[in-house]
Amino acid sequence: MRVLTWDLEIATPVEEVIGGWEAVRRGDAGISCMCLYDTETGRTHVYDENDLEEGMAHLNEAELLVGFNTTGFDTPIMESVTGYTLNPEQYDILTEVWRALPSRQKGYKLANICERLKIGRKAQTGESAPNLYRSNRMGKLIDYCIQDVHLTRKLANWINTEGYILTPEGEPIDVSPPGVEV
């Protein structure tokens, strides 16, 4: 099965976008880069703002897309910016976490979950990505996006093997797995 794990970074900080998060999800913040790991090629692929249509075509070659908050954030942005629809089945880790909890709660960002499981740490936050883009620090920006893809893969594979994550209090909660190694 061809699985692509992916992430994108926005080009404009949310606080500078008229309309806030809703406008960002409509694509008003733009996209600075999109990175994905492809199980068929065994490598990470990088797409910048100039080749997002090619990146969208690559995403649509998957049988399964894996991400963290991709159905609520990355997917609508990518579809709005490119004008194309993502067709593959999607496994969104955050969506599965929300399904496992009685209500949405703080403490369930990618960085939080990975640190609690001791499977990795993030060097920066998503909020810093637009500033890296604005400063033309594309190497650092792409490195950050690739790191998110790497952590998302590690977390998806953890859930696939172990079947749970930890709450902020350190209690395990069962999370539906992707059903395939990513």
Q: Where are any strands of DSSP class E within 85-176?
A: 89-92, 164-166, 172-174
Tokens of 178: 């992707």
Task: Classify the C-alpha dihedral 14-72-94-62 as positive or negative.
Answer: negative
Compute the distance between CA of residue 43 and CA of residue 27 in angstroms, rounded to an integer.
27
Compute the distance between CA of residue 31 and CA of residue 14 in angstroms, rounded to an integer.
12
Compute the distance between CA of residue 168 and CA of residue 61 in angstroms, rounded to an integer.
36
CATH code of the domain made up of 3-174: 3.30.420.10
Looking at residue 141, what is its pLDDT?
95
Instruction: With CA atoms as reference, report the closest residue to 155 among 41, 69, 71.
Output: 69
**Mean pLDDT taken over the chain:** 95
Report the percent of the chain where pLDDT is more than 70. Answer: 98
User: Which one has a higher pLDDT value, 44 or 105?
Assistant: 44
End-to-end, the C-alpha distance of the chain in Å comes to 9
Instruction: Please write the tens of the pLDDT for every residue from 89-131.
Output: 999 999 999 999 988 889 999 999 999 999 998 876 656 899 9
Q: Model-level pTM?
A: 0.95
| Backbone phi and psi for residue 18, each to the nearest 5 degrees, phi listed first | -65, 125
Q: What one-letter code names the amino acid at 121?
A: R
The domains of the chain are located at 3-174
Segment among 19-33, 122-136, 163-177 with least mean pLDDT: 122-136
